């Protein structure tokens, strides 16, 4: 019997190279990878099917690097395993272990048993949350459920879901950090944290995976909204209530430096406004004035910038807190116990330190409001359903009503006027970002951010 670790280390680089580059979670396709190295390989099960957790470094021509997590399975070649195969080494088929229920089950067992493992340069720590329901029926069906940009997930018998982070960055992942914070405080509107595993050692300290309760029978907020715009309206208020409660909870602990609300600095608002102002300017430079979809805002750069100036005339106030960071309908689910909020990873394209920054909670609110604008149009494009007159306005109103009811008012700038102004700054920032994105990727959707920007201009005209 060969040593599993040795087989993984002996993985032919060109095969590994080829396989990694094909993966959706591999972030840097465009850049030329100079080298792929297995920096750490920890055997988690020595009996077949063997399991080795590998940390693989991609090195680029310029000397930069990225680190990825690869749980690898090893089965005898004669078994004929054919899912996620990377290479054959010494009579072993080496493959992506997350494609194999038996292997994912081993990770779950490790978390349950808090069974740590040591590598050459550091340790893998498996942890379960005290009192959390880690039980899964023995015959539970284990299935991979899709691969995102940054992670791969596995569901255990509709009871638990394991999210494995592929691209690793130093520091605690906000997904773990926020879930742990909220679970400890018994915040009811999340899928509670059950466990996790992490790596700590010379290479870096990083969160490798989180294990949460799986919301079976829950409905995705985005899909639900698109399926039934009218039916969503009465639920929008409840979503606002839950969002307000989320921010109140996130801003409730003065003792934990990672979460304690902070006073925004003197320049905070000016820096934000200046940044958005420049994004607006640059966007308008690139705008094709002939495009009819852009007609409502074409040539109005100065109006938009003046509007932003007017919005920014508010004093400093409110607090900066840890936020969801990527808040929209697609991050919510409706369950039999009401709305549940998911995915606290933040925007995966941003570096981890940036995702962990404290910000005004209104940035999350703006994200959700923009999501309503998208829902109205998407229902039409994807479901052929015309949004009822002023649906977006009503959804916004209901959501905000619920939100203001439960959010800790000290987290927001003082006074309704200031709150709405700051909210509008964030909405404008978001809409400008959306417009740039849609122009490059989905020209059919350009009308949505255009309408959003036009709306913020009208607000002034009616105000």
Q: Which of 30, 254, 285, 463 binds other proteins (CB under 8 A)?
A: 285
Judge if the upstream peptide bond of residue 49 is cis by omega within 30 degrees of 0.
yes
Q: Which of residues 347-406 bind other proteins (CB under 8 A)?
A: 351, 353-354, 356-357
Q: Which of 331, 433, 438 is nearest to 377 (CA)?
A: 438
230 part of the interface to other proteins, by CB under 8 A: no
Distance CA 3, CA 90 (A): 10
Task: Count CB-CB contacts under 10 A for residue 165.
Answer: 24
Is 267 an interacting residue with respect to other proteins (CB under 8 A)? yes
In this chain, which of 201, 296, 330, 338 binds other proteins, going by CB under 8 A? Answer: 201
Whole-angstrom Cα distance, residue 160 to residue 154?
8
Report the nearest approach of other proteins to the CB of residue 80 (Å): 40
Q: Which residue bears the tokens 């691209």?
A: 167
* Closest approach of other proteins to the CB of residue 105, in Å: 29
Q: Where are the beta strands (DSSP E) in 215-366?
A: 219-220, 332-335, 338-341
Closer residue to other proteins (CB): 265 or 386: 265
CB atoms within 10 A of CB 47: 8
Per CB under 8 A, 262 contacts other proteins:
no
Decide: is 203 part of the binding site for other proteins (CB under 8 A).
Answer: yes
Torsion sign (Cα): 301, 303, 304, 310:
positive
Stretch that binds other proteins, among 22-30, 61-69, 89-97, 426-434 (CB under 8 A): 61-69
| Nearer to other proteins (CB atom), residue 66 or residue 227 | 66
Q: How far is the CB of 328 from other proteins (least distance, A)?
A: 26
Which residues does 11 contact at the CB level (< 8 Å), separation at least 6? 38, 86, 87, 89, 94
Helix 362-383 × helix 447-462 angle, to 10°: 130
CA–CA distance, 137 with 410 (Å, rounded to integer):
46
Question: With respect to other proteins, which residue has the nearer C-beta, 313 or 383?
Answer: 313
Q: What's the closest the beta carbon of residue 281 comes to other proteins, in angstroms?
A: 7
User: Applying CB under 8 A, does 258 fall inside the site for other proteins?
Assistant: no
Q: Are 320 and 327 in contact (CB under 8 A)?
A: no
Of residues 59 and 219, the one with the C-beta less far from other proteins: 59
Residue nearer to other proteins on the CB measure, 88 or 169: 169
CB nearer to other proteins: give 11 or 172. Answer: 172
CA of residue 135 relative to chain centroid, distance: 26
Interacting residues with other proteins (CB under 8 A): 59, 62-65, 169-171, 200-206, 265-268, 270-271, 273-275, 277-278, 281, 285-286, 305, 309, 312, 351, 353-354, 356-357
């Amino acid at each position: 019997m060969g040593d599993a670790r040795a087989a993984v280390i002996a993985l032919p680089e060109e095969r590994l190279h080829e396989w990694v580059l094909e993966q959706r979670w591999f972030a840097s396709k465009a850049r030329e990878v100079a080298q792929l190295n297995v920096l750490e390989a920890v055997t988690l099960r020595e009996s077949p099917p063997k399991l080795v957790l590998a940390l693989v470094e991609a090195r680029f021509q310029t000397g930069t690097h990225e680190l990825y997590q690869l749980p690898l399975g090893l089965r005898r070649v004669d078994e004929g395993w054919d899912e996620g195969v990377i290479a054959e080494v010494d009579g072993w088929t080496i493959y992506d272990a997350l494609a194999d229920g038996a292997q994912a089950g081993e990770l779950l067992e490790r978390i349950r048993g808090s069974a740590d493992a040591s590598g050459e340069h550091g340790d893998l720590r498996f942890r379960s949350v005290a009192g959390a329901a880690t039980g899964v029926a023995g015959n539970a069906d284990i299935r991979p459920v899709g691969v995102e940009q940054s992670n791969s997930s596995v569901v255990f018998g509709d009871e638990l879901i394991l999210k494995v982070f592929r691209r690793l960055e130093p520091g605690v992942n906000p997904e773990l950090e926020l879930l742990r914070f909220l679970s400890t405080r018994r915040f009811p509107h999340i899928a509670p944290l059950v466990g996790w595993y992490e790596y700590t050692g010379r290479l870096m300290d990083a969160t490798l995976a989180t294990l949460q309760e799986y919301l079976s029978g829950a409905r995705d907020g985005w899909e639900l909204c698109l399926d039934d715009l009218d039916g969503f309206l009465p639920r929008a208020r409840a979503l606002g209530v839950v969002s307000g409660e989320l921010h109140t909870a996130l801003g409730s602990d003065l003792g934990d430096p990672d979460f304690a609300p902070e006073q925004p600095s003197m320049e905070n608002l000016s820096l934000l406004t200046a940044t958005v102002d420049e994004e607006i300017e640059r966007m308008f430079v690139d705008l094709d004035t002939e495009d009819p979809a852009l007609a409502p805002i074409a040539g109005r750069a100065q109006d938009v910038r003046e509007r932003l100036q007017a919005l920014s005339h508010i004093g400093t106030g409110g607090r900066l807190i840890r936020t969801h960071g990527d808040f929209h309908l697609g991050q919510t689910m409706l369950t039999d116990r009401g709305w549940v909020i998911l995915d606290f990873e933040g925007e995966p394209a941003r570096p981890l330190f940036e995702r962990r920054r404290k910000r005004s909670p209104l940035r999350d609110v703006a994200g959700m409001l923009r999501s309503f604008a998208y829902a109205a149009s998407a229902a039409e494009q994807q479901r052929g359903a015309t949004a009822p007159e002023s649906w977006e306005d009503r959804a916004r109103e209901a959501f905000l009503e619920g939100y203001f009811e439960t959010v800790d008012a000290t987290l927001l700038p003082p006074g309704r006027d200031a709150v709405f102004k700051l909210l509008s700054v964030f909405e404008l920032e978001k809409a400008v970002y959306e417009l740039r994105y849609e122009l490059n990727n989905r020209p059919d959707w350009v009308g949505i951010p255009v309408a959003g920007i036009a709306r913020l201009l009208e607000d002034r005209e009616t105000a």
